[in-house]
Structure 1
Amino acid sequence: MSAAEPADTAETADTVGNTGPGTGRAPATNQENHVTTGATVWLTGLPSAGKTTIAHELAGRLREDGHLVEVLDGDEIREFLTAGLGFSRADRHTNVQRIGFVADLLARNGVKVLVPVIAPYADSREAVRGRHAASGAAYVEVHVATPVEVCSERDVKGLYAKQAAGEISGLTGVDDPYEAPETPDLRIESQDQTVQESAALVHKLLTERGLA
């Protein structure tokens, strides 16, 4: 299956402006007015780095511009798609590959797929990029490079506190490795700017690449 092609805007405008009896054309539907160039935007970073918040802010902006958007939330994926997996290196790799498969499938069908998932290992992320390259789907890697000290202060889900109390182990960036991307498409220092500013940087990159 090849990547979806952009909508012909000239034809769409003509269709919208000349519909009804005698024109031979049916009125355009909302689906026809959507932007149909798909892409995957993978936001990688430590727990509580701000990945999901940025993804939802970006999703709202893209939807306003007429894009079909899905956010693949890591917690929801764990609950519904990879519930049988644990947190060993092998299971984390499998989790990322399954998410990458779904993202690539959606991207090839005209969806902007935002993936705010840690994906701690470089080889896992590279495999996902390779899958997209093989299918022809656009892929953008964004490193939300919030320092662990800031993430532990935010501690949105209480994971850092639980790890410090000895209630959990294997927390990425603390007692389990996080292999930061060496050459991401974009690196964001979320601690130094607002969520809106962070999302705007991603949107700017997508625009520069003809994806927004």
Structure 2
Amino acid sequence: MTTPSPKSSNTVWHHATVTRERRAKLNGHKSVLLWFTGLSGAGKSTLAHALEESLYQMGYHTFVLDGDNVRHGLCGDLGFSNEARVENIRRISEVAKLFVEAGVIVLTAFISPFRADRAKARNLVGADFFEIYCRCPLDVCEERDVKGLYRRARAGEIKEFTGISSPYEEPEQPELVVETSGRSIEDCVEQILNYLIQLGIYEPNPR
């Protein structure tokens, strides 16, 4: 795994004249980070993309950072050891923060199994971090298993697989819990939109 280099002592943060507040005014909405977490097969990516579609259709500026997609590029050098998972989430947290600063509603879909890593992401982004726990029983996730990952993990072909040979630490105080095992995607999206309305982040048909 690539170890991040220490920050150079020769770098100085440059403060932009186009601020996040100005971008929000231009976009017509606030920017936040919606952090979807849960087991593989819990519906994180499906739900994040469905929510993004709904927001996009109403004129919101959005972007989904998907676990599998990010490992094709930014995190393509990382494996799945505990150390690599920590670095994976660290990188995503930094990228997500930049997107929030750019005025975008960011949706991240990562297992992110460790509470400490999610806490670091929260501390980095601050009050604009909202943890959404896609709660789904392990047996249901295994029944879905669209990628065949659980089957391979049970057979010993995939080492350190979350929920089987590596732990998943459930969120203790997430902003929102979405029960994805017995509800439709549409119902789950509506639940999140209603929550965003309460926060003043989203309003139907803003334009």
Q: Which runs of 5+ in 2 are unaligned?
A: 1-14, 203-207
- Matched ranges for 1:1-212 at <5 A: 3-4=20-21, 6-7=24-25, 32=26, 34-133=27-126, 138-212=128-202
Q: Deviations over 1:55-114 (max 9, x none)?
A: 011001111121111010111111100111111111101100110111111011110111
1:166 to partner: Cα distance? 2.0
Q: Is the 8 A contact 1:39 1:111 kept in 2?
A: yes
One-letter amino acid of the counterpart of residue 172, structure 1: T
**CA RMSD of the aligned region, Å?**
1.4
- Larger mean CA deviation between 37-46 and 156-165 belongs to 156-165
Report how many residues are paired: 184
**Whole-Å Cα distance in 1 between the matches of residues 21 and 110 of structure 2?**
25
**Whole-Å Cα distance in 2 between the matches of residues 173 and 165 of structure 1?**
14
| Distance change >3 Å, CA 203–CA 164, structure 1 → 2 | same
**Whole-Å Cα distance in 2 between the matches of residues 4 and 116 of structure 1?**
26
**Whole-Å Cα distance in 1 between the matches of residues 78 and 85 of structure 2?**
8
1:164 to partner: Cα distance? 1.7
Q: Is the 8 A contact 2:131 2:175 kept in 1?
A: yes
1:159 to partner: Cα distance? 0.3
Q: Is the 8 A contact 2:154 2:164 kept in 1?
A: no
Q: Is the 8 A contact 2:113 2:169 kept in 1?
A: yes
One-letter amino acid of the counterpart of residue 174, structure 2: P
Instruction: Give SS of 1:178's match.
Output: coil
Q: Which runs of 5+ in 1 are unaligned?
A: 8-31
Identity of aligned residues (%): 36
**Larger radius of gyration between Structure 1 and Structure 2:** 1
